[in-house]
Amino acid sequence: MTPRIVEILYQMIAFLFAISVHESAHAWTASRCGDPTARMLGRVSLNPIRHIDLFGTIILPLVAALSHFPLLGWAKPTPVDPRNFRHPMLDDILTSVAGPVSNFIVATGALLLLGGISLSSISGHTLVMGLVAGGDGAGSDSALAPVAMLLFELMFINIVLAVFNLIPVPPLDGSHVLRHFLSDPVRMVYDRIGIFALLALVYLGGGLLGSLIRPFVHFYLSMLVKF
């Protein structure tokens, strides 16, 4: 396989794992807050098959990877019935932010493992610094190159998904926080125009998305070079 195909394969593996963690976190938190709907449907699972949406999880990310764009997409929405929550507003917010928080946790775990590889040997340090500098690691003679490449994609994609989902545009997770502080008439309009705002953000707001995501990526990379 060519280095580019290997890179796309790693990106898709990392993306499927990231969305599985994200949706499982929603389902697990909802269950802890009193709503067993998602848990009863088997959504507290890292099996990506339980979360796959054909277009949002397979087609769109694959097209993005082939087009050299960051992998953006979505999974099958986690079913939540807020009527079962013990504290409707608080529990809805907790359930919503659990997904992005889980992605930041995975990204941080990948960062620490990459740091361990960097500290393990001179070749490991060279490999990780090459990935930070924008290389693909394919030319490294380190036996840890495949692991480091996968961990780097895992870190990057989880950061992108976490920040993207925190944007307060319906139906993204961040909107579930903001909507609770809106009046009923404003909330109705907010929910109705959400999908159009989301499409505009994805297809027309590339510069805005980049400006939101870039500081978080730079922070993680700056932490990585300290190892």
- Active-site residue list: 23
> In this structure, which amino acid lies at residue 134?
G
> What CA–CA distance (Å, rounded) separates 162 from 22?
9
DSSP state of 124: H
CB 94 within 8 A of CB 28: no
3-state SS, residue 196: helix
Distance CA 114, CA 120 (A): 10
Entry field: residues in the chain:
227
Q: Is 192 exposed, middle or buried (0-12, 13-18, 19+ CB in 10 A)?
A: exposed
Q: Buried b / exposed e across 54-89, counting CB within 10 Å, b at 16+?
A: eebbbebbbebbeeeebbbbbbeebebeeeebeeee
> How many other CB atoms sit within 10 Å of the CB of residue 204?
10
